[in-house]
Structure 1
Amino acid sequence: MAKRMERLKEGGVTYAYLLLYIALSSGQIFFNKWVLSSKQINFPYPVGLTLLHMLFSSVLCFILTRVLKIIKIEEGMTSEIYTTSVIPIGAMFAMTLWLGNSAYLYISVAFAQMLKAIMPVAVFLLGAAAGLEAMNCRMLAIMSVISIGVIVASYGEVSVDWIGVVYQMGGVIGEALRLIFMELFVKKKGIRLNSISMMYYVSPCSALSLFIPWVFLEKPKMDSGVTWNFPPLILVLNCLCTFALNLSVFLVISRTSALTIRVTGVVRDWVVVLLSAVLFADTKLTPINILGYAIAIAGVVAYNNHKLKKEASGTNSDVNDNANNQEDDDPDSRIAMITQK
């Protein structure tokens, strides 16, 4: 009975973290949309908003790791790794946030989430080009289902602003490149960082990458006398929500896996799509919208299931190889490998 209660307690904590992630992720999307497009705030500067997020994250990560020393930064980072891996990841992260937030100025939150469903296609194609993914009939079929679903959902959109579509697709490509760089970083450099450590290294790079376009694209508009308003309290809350979202990702991954985040993201996307129809006047869902998005999500679920089986088989293969290699040399290591399996 005690073990059963312990399992129930552990399961309850895990589901609480998942719900926290869904709430924070959905809330941040709506929060950013409100800040960028509402008349109450009147701050239509997506680059500036994202730059504030990254500066806030950089300062807070520095305080947590170097001043208060609550979280330890993993060792192994070198100037060569930072230049060739961390800076590209930071630049792509900045590109993703900049273009994704810019899309909210032109298209609805629901339509933006529908377009994001094409993400696995971009990741797969770029991964195949980088030699990280293998072309096969099953994956091509899954990618086709996702693509068809997104096309159908787009066809059902009442009003399509192609500027917003271009921004959103640019953000998708940026996120896909970031994930590719992350995978190369882990596989080739052999360094695994928790979420806070990654943000500690990546946030300053992203802030610098955003500062340059902000100076040329948005700062002149902000200095030209155009009225804009961003109350300090709203600013701090928005930045805190962004940081809390990154922390919730770390909590979920620490108790489950990165794949769980992807699967939970599917639930989050449906929540965002349906709630946006209630919260925002510019969102009008049509039956074709919902049908197309359902087809795309079915493809995304199939993709996640394929990745789960692939990762599971790869893990089992690695454990067996390690156990076989250490079997004759170290009986204690053999026991450890069997226990891990």
Structure 2
Amino acid sequence: MADEPHAVLPVEPGLSRSKSELCCNPVSKLGGRCALSVYTSRSQHRLPMSVPAARRPKGQEMGDVQSGADSHQFRMFGLSKIVIAVVASVAWMAVSSALILLNKDLLSHGFHYPMALSGLGMAFSGGASFVCCRVLKVVDAKKSMTLSFYCTKILPVGLFMALTLHFGNLVYLYLTVAFIQMLKAFTPIITMLSLFIARLESPSRRLILSVSFIALGTATASAGEVNLNYTGVFIMLLSEIFESIRLVMTQLLLTGLRFHPIEGLMYLAPACTFWLIIGSLILEFRPMLESGAFLLMAERPAKFLAAAMMGFAVNSLAYIVIQSASSLTLKVLGTVKNALVVCLGIVLLAETVTGLQGFGYGISIAAFFWYQRIKMQQIASEARTAALSSVANGSSSVIISSGGDKGLPQYRSVPSLDRLDDAGKK
């Protein structure tokens, strides 16, 4: 994509210019200028505008076109961003798919300990993110963290993150890779119910209808499964429930923190690893000793190290995709990736997928895209309402992007035209 998706703030009729707020596209900050867009309710058209960084001379038109050099620089910037988005998207799909197949291979050939495997991956992610933030300074991590805050906010989220990973890996001991990817389409239903119970969301009729079709498609796919294992289905359901609880707790406990994703991983990964180590010591340590699992790790270190590195790579690439495209792009890519893994399971692992399964999965995918469209329309509507309320109340906080984490609109204070003039006078 050429730039971050951004909302254009409407200007109500009758408002003076001093009360009009501008939506600033952060990608367009080139050549000492800030490219702005104003959306007037009278004309219902976008008016391209360009404002110097310091102070515009009085009387100069606000709609001046940028110089040819700036325009060329902007086009090159947009092109490079598209290339980054495409490369990151392909890399994320490839690494994520490879990680699924590698975990399936490790768990199916002697190492039947999903909690220990998840702990290895999260420990590596925590260490790698710490190096990025504190040693290499690749990420500007300035947030301070008290022990009290960590124990009351981070550790609870880490617990449900650990449960999600444990059951998400455990299910590979019971179900085929292809069928697991089909069951993942059921996740939006669990998430919507969890948000509704926590009173964080009020689903509309269209949203309920879309998730009902997802449920219908998933049920159809399950009915067509040749080697249906009810224990495996229950474990997969637990993984999705714990994932939805994790999302709800993240919204309730960590709202407003605005961590960089790698910085957030630096704090969450150790918390998740802590719970996984405790669980593994209680449930898996003795069986691992008796079965010689530690010797297996010593014999195949490359595979275990690769699995740990891929886990961190998936998180890092997901962040790049969100930054260069949007969170919606990542969700769509996730659906495409799941379908790709279904095909890989058929080709590489000789798994059986019946026609009824394929039909049900097709219904789930179509309903999922409908669900995402409804969600984005809902977010846009809420953002517009918030913007109108902001203008009515004289606030200068405006929406600049819908591409943040989890698709939530991002806010930033932008000065009005008169404030720009005042800044120049000072």
TM-score by length of 2: 0.72
Measure the CA separation in 1 of the matches of 2:346 and 2:414: 58
Percent identity over the alignment is: 32
User: What letter matches 2:221 in structure 1?
Assistant: A
User: What letter matches 1:298 in structure 2?
Assistant: A
Measure the CA separation in 2 of the matches of 1:258 and 1:52: 27
1:146 counterpart = 2:228? no
1:249 counterpart = 2:331? no
The corresponding residue for 1:275 is 344
Change in 2 beyond 3 A, CA 1:58/1:333: same
Structure of higher CA gyration radius: 2
The corresponding residue for 1:334 is 416
Instruction: Give the SS at the match of 1:229.
Output: helix
The corresponding residue for 1:299 is 367
Measure the CA separation in 1 of the matches of 2:282 and 2:414: 61
Q: Structure 2 matches for 1:223-238, cutoff 5 A?
A: 223-226=289-292, 229-230=296-297, 231-238=300-307
The corresponding residue for 1:166 is 234
Work out which of the residue numbers 257, 275, 289 in structure 2 matches 1:209: 275
**Does structure 2 conserve the Cα–Cα contact (< 8 Å) formed by 1:185 and 1:191?**
no
User: What letter matches 1:17 in structure 2?
Assistant: A
Instruction: Give the SS at the match of 1:333.
Output: coil
Change in 2 beyond 3 A, CA 1:185/1:250: farther
Instruction: Give the SS at the match of 1:117.
Output: helix
How many residue pairs match? The answer is 330
The corresponding residue for 1:121 is 189
Measure the CA separation in 2 of the matches of 1:261 and 1:84: 30
**Does structure 2 conserve the Cα–Cα contact (< 8 Å) formed by 1:76 and 1:191?**
no
**Does structure 2 conserve the Cα–Cα contact (< 8 Å) formed by 1:152 and 1:292?**
yes
1:104 counterpart = 2:172? yes
Measure the CA separation in 2 of the matches of 1:118 and 1:217: 29
Measure the CA separation in 1 of the matches of 2:124 and 2:80: 34
Which runs of 5 or more residues in structure 1 are unaligned?
Answer: none
Instruction: Give the SS at the match of 1:160.
Output: coil
1:296, distance to aligned residue in structure 2 (A): 1.1
Work out which of the residue numbers 374, 377, 382 in structure 2 matches 1:309: 377
Work out which of the residue numbers 225, 239, 260 in structure 2 matches 1:194: 260
The corresponding residue for 2:335 is 266
Measure the CA separation in 1 of the matches of 2:366 and 2:214: 8
User: What letter matches 1:310 in structure 2?
Assistant: Q
TM superposition outliers: structure 1 runs of 4+ over 6 Å: none
1:257, distance to aligned residue in structure 2 (A): 2.5
1:76, distance to aligned residue in structure 2 (A): 5.8
1:9 counterpart = 2:80? yes
The corresponding residue for 2:387 is 319
Q: Structure 2 matches for 1:38-77, cutoff 5 A?
A: 38=109, 42-75=110-143, 77=145
The corresponding residue for 2:90 is 19
User: What letter matches 1:14 in structure 2?
Assistant: A
**Does structure 2 conserve the Cα–Cα contact (< 8 Å) formed by 1:117 and 1:296?**
yes
Which runs of 5 or more residues in structure 2 are unaligned?
Answer: 1-70, 397-412, 420-426
1:211, distance to aligned residue in structure 2 (A): 1.1
**Does structure 1 conserve the Cα–Cα contact (< 8 Å) formed by 2:165 and 2:239?**
yes
User: What letter matches 2:194 in structure 1?
Assistant: L
The corresponding residue for 2:199 is 131
Q: Which has the higher strand share?
A: 2
User: What letter matches 1:176 in structure 2?
Assistant: S
Measure the CA separation in 2 of the matches of 1:327 and 1:55: 44
**Does structure 2 conserve the Cα–Cα contact (< 8 Å) formed by 1:55 and 1:204?**
yes
Change in 2 beyond 3 A, CA 1:5/1:226: closer
1:333, distance to aligned residue in structure 2 (A): 1.2
1:4, distance to aligned residue in structure 2 (A): 4.7
The corresponding residue for 2:29 is none
Change in 2 beyond 3 A, CA 1:280/1:327: closer
The corresponding residue for 1:32 is 103
Measure the CA separation in 2 of the matches of 1:208 and 1:280: 34
**Does structure 1 conserve the Cα–Cα contact (< 8 Å) formed by 2:84 and 2:324?**
no
User: What letter matches 2:108 in structure 1?
Assistant: S
The corresponding residue for 1:87 is 155
1:332, distance to aligned residue in structure 2 (A): 6.9
Q: Which has the higher helix share?
A: 1
Instruction: Give the SS at the match of 2:137.
Output: coil
Change in 2 beyond 3 A, CA 1:335/1:323: farther
Measure the CA separation in 1 of the matches of 2:390 and 2:146: 28
Deviation sequence 1:285-336 (CA, Å, 0-9, x none): 11111111111112211111111112222233333433444479xx971249
TM-score by length of 1: 0.89
Deviation sequence 1:29-52 (CA, Å, 0-9, x none): 1111111113xxx32211110011
Deviation sequence 1:196-223 (CA, Å, 0-9, x none): 1111111111111111220121111111
